[in-house]
Structure 1
Amino acid sequence: MTAMYSDRALVIGAGFAGLLAARALSESYGDVVLVERDRLTPDTGHRPGVPQAHHPHVLLARGAEVLDELFPRFRADLEDAGAVRADVGSDHLVRFPSGWAPRDHLGLSVLSATRVTIEQVVRKRVLKLPNVSLVDGVTVQGLLTDRGLVTGVHGTRDGRPFTDYADLVVDASGQAGKLVSWLAEHGVHCPAPLIVTGHAACASRLYHVTSDLGLDWRTAREFTRAPSPRRGAAVSEVDGYRWFVTLVGTDGDTTPADEDGFAEHAAALECHDIAEIVKTAVPASPVHRSGALRSRWNRFHQVPRWPRGLLAVGDSVISLNPVHGHGMTLAALHAADLRHLLQSHDLAKEPLVFQRAVARSARLPWSAVTTADRAWSNRKTTTRTRARRWYAQRLADAVPGNARVYRAYVRVAQLADHPSALLAPRVLWHVLSGSRPRATAR
């Protein structure tokens, strides 16, 4: 049975991570308040606080499982809102540098939807909880403290001073959050964040695609890998008959936002269906481009004087290069950690217990993403990183034509299995002894 510790918890930010944190807190606190800068309604679409919503967002298989645990029938609600279910084997068309992945049915399905749709479904479920409320239009400017204890937040709302108090404050303000600066104002100094440059840019556009194109897949991926290929893509059916096309450029290969450049990049890919979509489908949005993609980790778990009454979740702690698609699932794992630890800990008094759990959940995704991104850099890396990169490349080269290796790869990529599954004897044998298949056209 979950303990009820006190009356009031306050969450800074009502985005995806903040909403999930509020859901977890609702079982242990009598009153949970979400404080959000943007004005929100149940059907709010794109908003200033989430500019990345113009790009695809991936909820990996493990992340979807967590959301079903937090919100029974969540995946059914998401499908009712237009999300598209696809088997990651038979419904996915995946191109590795060495060839095409097998198209066998794997029995592991994922849902494709826009960030706007996912957040709307979560927001409606959270705000139906009787002890959760939303105060929007608030710009939080700092923390209120009393002898090492965070007691609330201060800021402005509609041009007037805003102050609110709570027994526990959770920062879910995202990449643009200022928690490190707020802590410094109170004499709490954090280690410099770990930052790994992704050496990548992406450009995305929504299209209306009809059945006339005769596509036999629902998601397509074309991977980049240092030193080549430098161009990739991710395409998926979302929210009914709309398709998200995202083009990726690495190592200085730009992803243009103009019509001709977007079409030229798509035409250079091995998956000719992508170029056909760009050429013939009706655009449903402008092209949105993002560059200077990177991963950042604020190591809050290493702050010895971390104040009581304060937790941090989501991108406020760790934000991963979005090209790799781990962000939403990592936020879901944070919520699962929060819910679990509240059953046995008063986290307002023991906040580092939670921050250390967040760090443990982040280590494997961080390692996977940054190992791939560091391959584009000329900087010297550790022996461990070089070994991981070497094995990852051999694994990718063994995927085409090998359903066993691909199944293991997919389950780890979806965070359904631990990476140690990629070292299982049968997988290891194929990876180390298999010859590289010849890249063939589809």
Structure 2
Amino acid sequence: MYSDRALVIGAGFAGLLAARVLSESYGDVVVVERDRLAADTRYRSGVPQAHHPHALHARGAEVLSALFPRFGDELVDAGAVRADVGSDHLVRFPTGWAPRDHLGLSVLSATRVTIERTIRRRVLKLPNVSIVDGVAVEGLLHDRGTVTGVHGTRDDRPFTDYADLVVDASGHGSKLVPWLAEQGVHCPAPMIVNGHTTCTSRLYHLTEDLELDWKTARELTQAPRTRRGGTVSEVDGRHWFVSLSGADGDAAPDDEDGFAEYAATLQCQDIAEIVKTASPASAIHRSGTLRSRWNRYHQVQDWPRGLLALGDAVASLNPVHGHGMTLAALHCAELHHLLQGHDLAKEPLLFQRAVARTVQVAWKEVTTADLGWGDRKPPLRTRLRQWYARRLTQAIPGSTRVYRAYVRVTQMADRPVKLLAPAVLWRVLSGSRLRATGR
């Protein structure tokens, strides 16, 4: 048995951030990863969603900057594009164009590959952190209600490692529920909401002579009528990432002609122009039946000591809404905070309950939108939130104040209650449009 040792399952975004946090509290931190990780590793089987755009919201960027000083500058050096969410983003709602005023919220646009590679480089510089790749974890080691390590295989040979604390950051493919069942620990059924959406994406080479006044252009879907949407962002310095979304059975084709024809049906014609004129830099990738899933580990009273779970292993939200990385960052911020005063190996439910509180805010936002596409009538509280969201989008094209509040909430910089502030509430409920946008 080792002492003062932590083990993290998964070397993705959440696992790397968890390792960085644990490095301050544990003498030895080891990250085990199923995929092989070479210096030039790009797309890997463990992160299929890397073929689609990833949004790191303003709140998530703050967490990363706190954990990794100058992280934003390093990401920019690697090709990320910095943009103001207001003036540099062109956003089309079903009700019209959003205002383009400077909002003072800066975000970075980069591929998942670049973000992970930059974080992994920083984490591996820590003297007490190491990564062991090629490990297929098959279960947990345990002793009298305490998780003591993991077992599995590496290069077709048995693999065993022990630790005082095991953190599951293995993502939406986590096998933690059956692993716990093997120990006699049974979890409640997960909450699942089918988003009824698909995402079809392609990377393009940047066209130098195409003059655009934005860095990200986006068109949003909205139940029950606006089924098609899309996003294009300048990423990694020399590329555009185009993603076309469809809801309620609609989906962009994954062939070249169909992809272009689908883009041409959007109101934001800048997206179609890029698809039509830019040179492809990747194949077309489509993900369908996107859904949200929440494992309610915070409700497991006999949760074993020595075990934590975070990121998509706890809650994987419909990626069309772009909350995944920011939510994982917030989980690690909670981990960092609680480790200052608690031995979480002995008090794991303290952390799982903090994670649940973080998940709840994003869960309500995402599922309120997605339940609008379902066949079943949602609960009254959900219907009221959907009604208010529709009124909100009606007010946004004519009010910078309403749009500013909306952006700060969607960027997780403010809590949703800010959308009920008197000045915002009046404009939403009265339908007032104080000024028209220019586009």
Partner of 1:375: 372
**CA positional deviation for 1:356:** 0.3
**Kept in 2: contact 1:45–1:116 (CA 8 A):** yes
Matched, 1:335 2:315: no
Query: 1:303 pairs with 300, 305, 309, which one?
Result: 300
**CA positional deviation for 1:227:** 1.5
Matched, 1:416 2:416: no
Partner of 1:92: 89
Matched, 1:277 2:274: yes
**CA positional deviation for 1:211:** 2.7
**CA positional deviation for 1:307:** 0.3
**CA positional deviation for 1:44:** 1.7
Cα deviation code 1:20-46 (max 9, x no counterpart): 000110000000000001111343211
**Kept in 2: contact 1:139–1:156 (CA 8 A):** yes
Partner of 1:400: 397
**CA positional deviation for 1:401:** 2.2
Partner of 2:98: 101
Cα deviation code 1:224-250 (max 9, x no counterpart): 111111100011000012000000010
**CA positional deviation for 1:382:** 1.3
Determine the C-alpha separation between the residues in 2 that align with 1:56 and 1:420. Answer: 28
Which amino acid is the alignment partner of residue 156 of structure 2? G
**CA positional deviation for 1:436:** 7.4
Which amino acid is the alignment partner of residue 211 of structure 1? E
- Within-5 A mapping of 1:37-436: 37-435=34-432
3-state SS of paired residue (1:246)? strand
- 5+ long unaligned stretches in structure 1: none
Matched, 1:21 2:18: yes
3-state SS of paired residue (1:282)? coil
**CA positional deviation for 1:209:** 2.2
Query: 2:28 pairs with 13, 28, 31, which one?
Result: 31
TM score, norm. by length of structure 1: 0.97
- 5+ long unaligned stretches in structure 2: none
Which amino acid is the alignment partner of residue 407 of structure 2? V
**CA positional deviation for 1:434:** 1.7
Which runs of 4 or more aligned residues in structure 1 lie more than 2 Å from their structure 2 counterparts after TM superposition? Answer: 435-442
3-state SS of paired residue (1:188)? coil
The alignment covers a number of residue pairs equal to 438
Which amino acid is the alignment partner of residue 222 of structure 2? R
Determine the C-alpha separation between the residues in 2 that align with 1:439 and 1:160. Answer: 66
> Please, what is the CA RMSD of the aligned residues?
1.5
TM score, norm. by length of structure 2: 0.98
**Kept in 1: contact 2:142–2:149 (CA 8 A):** yes
Cα deviation code 1:225-276 (max 9, x no counterpart): 1111110001100001200000001001121100111011100000111111
Cα deviation code 1:32-81 (max 9, x no counterpart): 00000111134321111101100000100000000000011111111010
**Kept in 2: contact 1:9–1:25 (CA 8 A):** yes
**Kept in 2: contact 1:6–1:29 (CA 8 A):** no
Determine the C-alpha separation between the residues in 1 that align with 2:387 and 2:222. Answer: 12
Which amino acid is the alignment partner of residue 357 of structure 1? A
Determine the C-alpha separation between the residues in 2 that align with 1:440 and 1:108. Answer: 20
**CA positional deviation for 1:15:** 0.5
Determine the C-alpha separation between the residues in 2 that align with 1:71 and 1:41. Answer: 22
Which amino acid is the alignment partner of residue 166 of structure 2? V
Identity %: 76
Which amino acid is the alignment partner of residue 303 of structure 1? V
Partner of 1:9: 6
**Kept in 1: contact 2:193–2:370 (CA 8 A):** yes
**Kept in 2: contact 1:233–1:246 (CA 8 A):** yes
Determine the C-alpha separation between the residues in 1 that align with 2:311 and 2:374. Answer: 27
